[in-house]
Structure 1
Amino acid sequence: MPSSITWRLLLLAGLCCLVSGSLYTSSHDEQPPPLHSLGRKLSNFAFSLYRVLAAQSNTTNILFPALSIATTIVLISLGAKGDTHTQILQTLDFNCKDTFEIYIGLPHFVNRLHQPRQSLLMSTDNILVIDKNLKKVGTFLVDARELFHPEVLPNAQKTTGRKLVDLINDLDKNTALALVNYIFFHGKGRDDCDAGRSIKGDFQVDENATITVPMVKRIGDFFLHWTFELSSFVLLQRYTGSLFTFLIWEKGSERKHFQCSETPLFSNLRDSSANIHVLQLSLSGTYHLKTILGKLGITKVFSLEADLSGITEEVPLTVSKVSLSPSQPGPQGA
């Protein structure tokens, strides 16, 4: 494999949480029926997000937690009505009439992430901030608490430090409701390779910028696969337990776009002997999801036509801003 330091990091996403059955150790018969297709639908949503992000730039690195985005918009859908509600569920490929899969299956799926695992820390939670003067209606708060168990701020601070406090302090004074979702992951790799040695190497930030960063050079057996569809290498990083992430290295300047039907190519990953350079740096960025989700079909919730009467009928509510700020410092992310 050519040295990774000369390639752009095309995609770094924790799709481990989105692969059907990856979190389950029970037999097929014991698995709740809604979860059979849930992983596939969330994976398809992740690749849809990727295609939109990749189309915005051929030269930048891409980092996003698809499960976090999906959970947030599903929470919003609890208070949405009419076409606003329908758009959200259809974008995620869920049945608008039979919501058992999304409102029971997804919380169950997320709750599995909280189960303790050896040498693995993963936490995903939601913070709901509501103006105390907002006249609430319906069962939005009850449903949100029952299904997704939003945390109180002091508990969330133990995991995220001051990140959430700073975010909430920056809210506009006219904000009636704010919903924050976070995923924190710290895992121990279990690939069969030596401890590696530290080196310095070049990392291509974008088309015009290259920086020198510390790396660990490792030689061993990895789940590595060359895909002709993407003209890229796919490297699967396994962690202790049943979780994994994967990275795609793009060769050349042309970024190829793949459809959901092409995702089985990742099932061809096999152990291969390789010499890889693992980056030791922090990647972060901010996406404004209004435009991105709009291209996927979620538009009404951001417009004056938004129907969020399941939350309040006192004033017309719209989602004015949705931002995503992912980071990936080494083997952990928040």
Structure 2
Amino acid sequence: MKPALYLCLLLLGLQVQGQQQEQQIHHPPGDQSQADGKNLPHVKLAPSNADFAFKLYRQIRDESGNKNIFFSPLSISTAFTMLTLGARSNTLRELHKGLAFNLTQLGEQEIHEGFQHILQLLNDPQREVQLNMGNTLFINHKVELLQTFLDHAKNFYDAEAVSTNFQNPEALREINKYVETKTHGKIVDFFDSLDPAAVTILINYIFFKGFWERPFDSFNTRDADFFLDAKNSVKVQMMHQNAHFNVHRDENLSCWVVEIPYKGNVTSLFILPDEGTMKQVEDALLKETVSSWLKSLEKRYIYLDLPKFSVSGSYDLKSLFEKMGVTEVFSDQADLSGLANLHLKVSKAMHKATVDVRENGTEAAAVTSIEILVGASPQFRPPPHITFDRAFLMMIIDKNTDGVLFLGKIVNPAAKED
């Protein structure tokens, strides 16, 4: 029996530099896509992508122990959904279920059209934020993929097909250079080697560099303790700001939710559970919960402390997907006959993401605001002091697509995990 040929799948998610600039917090529900475009494919797709994001988060949480978590659910779902273009039979059904698609509400054509629109919106050159997402297929030069698959991958996912000799050492340098370039030098030498039996390496990348609408002044950054548990702490650089933010106190889940928006219609949510309630908040992390938080945000004057941090996460998606019930695509029973007239299976699926959150000192001087408050009265409540000095959650949301670009848990801001 001839050995099965393999399809290698690589997914990359990258977020860098939560930097800052200029204040003006708005939560713009009057977005045109919401007002008159509820039937647009990318709008209909958003709930499924959110379900997938939080389902995958819980799977990673269950395996990671007490470690930082950071990944791009949108990068992962984009790559695997592009793979469904070539999947058939039960392999396709498993992928659809694993990706949280409900085909009674959303047809296959609409799913791919949804991702097509997401890519167009994310890569809009007119956006203030630096946000890029793309796909490439590196294909064994001795193999021909089916033209229908290549056409659909190009049409819906703008995926470029590159003929590659995986047995040539130059191919390793070529693909690593591609990854390094697309991630602006943040991910270097991702591949140690290439499987010469590989038929295709599918790469999705996402790169984000955002500037806060309101900067943290580096003059106010100081050393502080970040508590890992009741007995242990690490020193971090804690940024500080007294300002108006969109804030919500969730009494049911015992947590604070603070929105810190970027320029360019991208925002971030930082969720600080009370001591001992992290698991309770994580278990409730659903699209309905996040939607409720967003609707409940109110602009309040707060004292905010947020650590500077730079963390990364690397994940074996094959293992994670198998534990979520997606197994056939990785087995000899895989039906990827829509890709090529060969017996293919996914042999490897990897994901790496990194995040760097800090203040922008050179731009802080350009933003000077004087906050004028009503004088204290007998009913006056002092502003809440929200200090992220223990484990917290964060997510970065693109408001144009309602997509969760990145999702993570910061347990130790001083750790750098790969």
Same fold per TM (> 0.5)?
yes
Could you tell me how far apart the structure 2 residues matched to 1:327 and 1:310 are? 33
Q: Which residue of 2 aligns with 1:214?
A: 237
1:284 aligns with 2:276: no
Identity %: 27
In structure 2, distance between residues paired with 1:83 and 1:138: 23
> Contact 1:194 / 1:218 at 8 angstroms: preserved in 2?
yes
- Residue of structure 1 in register with 2:327 after alignment: 299
Q: Does 1:275 align with 2:325?
A: no
Counterpart AA for 1:114: N
Within 1, Cα distance between the matches of 2:325 and 2:94? 7
Q: Give the conservation status (yes or no) of the 8 Å contact 1:225–1:269.
A: yes
Partner of 2:51: 44
Amino acid at match of 1:67: L
Q: Which stretch of structure 1 is more off in the superposition, 170-179 or 125-134?
A: 170-179
| Deviating more after overlay: 185-194 vs 108-117 | 185-194
Question: Conserved in 2, the CA contact under 8 Å of 1:303 and 1:318?
Answer: yes
- 1:139 alignment partner, SS class: helix
Structure 2: which 5+ runs fail to align?
A: 1-14, 17-27, 163-174, 359-395, 397-404, 407-418
Name the CA shift for 1:322/1:204 in 2 (closer, same or farther; >3 Å).
farther
Cα 1:284/1:275, change in 2 over 3 Å: same
Distance apart, 1:166 and its partner CA: 2.1
RMSD across aligned positions (CA): 3.2
Listed one character per residue, the Cα deviations across residues 140-195 of structure 1 (whole Å, up to 9, x for unaligned) are: 12211121112576776544245667235633333221112111111121148767
Q: SS state of the match for residue 53, structure 2?
A: helix
What amino acid is the match of 1:273?
A: Y
**1:79 aligned residue:** 86
Partner of 1:9: none
Match of 2:196 in 1: 173
Amino acid at match of 1:197: N
2:354 maps to what in 1?
327
Higher mean C-alpha deviation, range 275-284 or range 169-178: 169-178
SS at match of 1:310: coil
Seen in structure 2, the aligned counterparts of structure 1 residues 167 and 129 have a Cα distance that, compared at 3 Å, is farther
Q: Is there any run of 5+ residues in structure 1 with no aligned partner, and where?
A: 1-12, 15-20
Q: What's the TM-score, normalizing by structure 1? A: 0.82
The question of whether the paired residues in 1 share the 8 Å contact of 2:179 and 2:190 is answered with no
Counterpart amino acid of residue 81 in structure 1: R
Residue 112 in structure 1 maps to residue 137 in structure 2: no
Number of aligned positions between the proteins? 315
- 1:213 offset after TM fit, Å? 2.4
Q: Deviations over 1:169-225 (max 9, x none)?
A: 633333221112111111121148767612112335689974322232111111222
Structure 1: how far apart are the matches of 2:119 and 2:96? 17
AA of the residue aligned to 2:300: S
Q: Which has the higher contact order (CA 8 A, sep 6+)?
A: 2
How far residue 283 of structure 1 moved from its aligned partner, in angstroms, is 1.0
Aligned to 2:213: 190
Partners of 1:43 and 1:313 in 2: CA distance: 34
SS of 2:70's equivalent?
Answer: coil
Deviation, 1:31, is: 5.9
Distance in 2 of aligned mates of 1:260 and 1:242: 19
Rg (Cα) greater in structure: 2
Identify the residue that residue 93 of structure 1 maps to in structure 2: 101
User: Which has the larger share of strand?
Assistant: 2
1:127 corresponding residue in structure 2: 136
The one-letter code of the counterpart of 1:40 is P
Distance change (3 Å), C-alpha of 1:118 and 1:112: closer
> Does the CA contact (< 8 Å) of 2:115 and 2:157 recur in 1?
no
Contact 2:47/2:287 (8 A) holds in 1 = no
Return the letter of the residue paired with 1:311.
L
> Aligned partners of 1:157, 1:265: CA distance in 2, in Å?
38
CA–CA distance in structure 2, aligned partners of residues 101 and 23 of structure 1: 24
Shift of 1:24: 5.0
Report the alpha carbon displacement of residue 69 of structure 1 after superposing the two structures with TM. 0.8
Where does residue 317 of structure 1 map in the other structure? 344
Distance 2:39 2:259 in 1: 27
- Change over 3 Å in CA distance of 1:77–1:163 after alignment to 2: farther
CA distance in 2, matches of 1:329, 1:86: 37
TM-score (norm. length: structure 2)? 0.66
Q: Which moved more, 1:265-274 or 1:152-161?
A: 152-161
1:149 aligns with 2:158: yes
1:167 partner SS? coil
Residue number in structure 2 paired with 1:10 = none
CA gap of 1:70–1:229, structure 2 versus 1, over 3 A, is: farther
User: Which residue matches 1:244?
Assistant: 267
CA shift for structure 1 position 261: 4.0
**CA shift digits 1:250-286 (9 cap, x unpaired):** 3324412014443433121211222222322211011
8 Å contact kept, 1:218–1:277: yes
Asked if 2 retains the 8 angstrom alpha-carbon contact of 1:117 and 1:241, the reply is no
Q: 1:77 to 1:268 in 2, by over 3 A?
A: same
CA contact (8 A) 1:59 1:206 kept: no
1:70 to 60, 72, 77: 77
The code of the aligned residue for 2:239 comes to V
